[in-house]
């Protein structure tokens, strides 16, 4: 058997489950919504703002364990990572695409009203 | 150190067998960053998130070294053809 090193401890997984389900919209990003520290993260913040969404942001630069664990939790290798209604929605490119075709607005409205 | 455009292209070619592939180095000297446009039959019937996941999975090894990967396009040959046609009939767009 191979022993794999995992940053996603059971404790972190439980915490993340709680974070993504207790907030309608959560963005794990580099920096905060008031001070994004990467253009890709900033793009998603601006999109959510323009949709008048209320959302939480979590700065993955604050915690390397969180940063590594999240990559496994979402099966997604980069940041930002957007969660809507407890489900992983996508990174920057997917969010931009869904914003352009109206899909994101629909989903955000649904999440805010539920 | 780092990942080259050629490595990214060869992994995507061997795993997703694209009919069109365009990899652009967007690092500007600050580390490996790439933008990808890819057309593959394997995207048929898959949602955008799944398509992006397929691209990420194909580059699993490279992702350890890549700082930023932007998948600008992940479309099927049919969607690609339509997009090309609409670009031609409407060059201003």
* Tens digit of each residue's pLDDT (9 = 90 or more) over B44-84: 999 999 999 999 999 999 998 888 899 999 999 999 999 99
Q: What is the pLDDT of residues B14-51, one digit of tens each?
A: 999 999 999 999 887 666 899 999 999 999 999 999 99
* Interchain proximity B63–A77, CB inside 8 Å: yes
Percent helix, strand, coil in chain A (nearest 5)? 50, 20, 30
- Rounded to 5°, angle at Cα A13 from A25 and A113: 20
CA distance linking residue B13 with residue A59, whole number of Å: 35
Distance from CA of B72 to the nearest CA of A (A): 7
Residue owning tokens 């996941």: B53
- Chain A hits for B30, Cβ within 8 Å: none
Structural domains present in chain B: 5-89 (3.30.300.90)
Closest Cα of chain B to A90: distance in Å?
6
Q: Could you tell me whether strands B33-39 and A56-59 are parallel, antiparallel, or unpaired per DSSP bridges? A: unpaired
Q: Is the pLDDT of residue B93 over 60?
A: no
Q: Which residues pair with A25 in a beta bridge?
A: A84
């Amino acid at each position: 058997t191979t022993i794999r090193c995992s940053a996603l401890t059971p404790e972190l997984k439980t915490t993340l489950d709680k974070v993504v389900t207790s907030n309608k919209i959560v963005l794990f990003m580099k920096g905060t919504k008031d001070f994004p520290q990467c253009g890709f993260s900033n793009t998603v913040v601006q999109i959510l703002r323009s949709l008048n969404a209320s959302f939480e942001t979590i700065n993955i630069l604050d915690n390397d364990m969180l940063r590594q664990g999240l990559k496994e939790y979402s099966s997604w290798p980069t940041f930002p990572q957007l969660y809507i209604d407890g489900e992983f929605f996508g990174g920057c490119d997917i969010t931009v695409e869904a914003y352009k075709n109206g899909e994101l607005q629909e989903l955000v409205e649904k999440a805010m009203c539920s | 150190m780092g990942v080259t455009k050629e490595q990214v292209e060869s992994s995507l070619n061997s795993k997703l067998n694209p009919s069109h592939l365009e990899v652009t180095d967007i690092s500007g000297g600050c580390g490996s960053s790439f933008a990808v446009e890819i057309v593959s039959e394997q995207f048929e019937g898959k949602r955008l998130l799944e398509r992006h996941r397929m691209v990420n999975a194909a580059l699993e090894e490279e992702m350890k070294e890549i700082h930023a990967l932007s998948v600008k396009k992940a479309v099927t040959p049919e969607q690609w053809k339509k997009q090309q046609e609409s670009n031609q009939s409407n060059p201003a767009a």
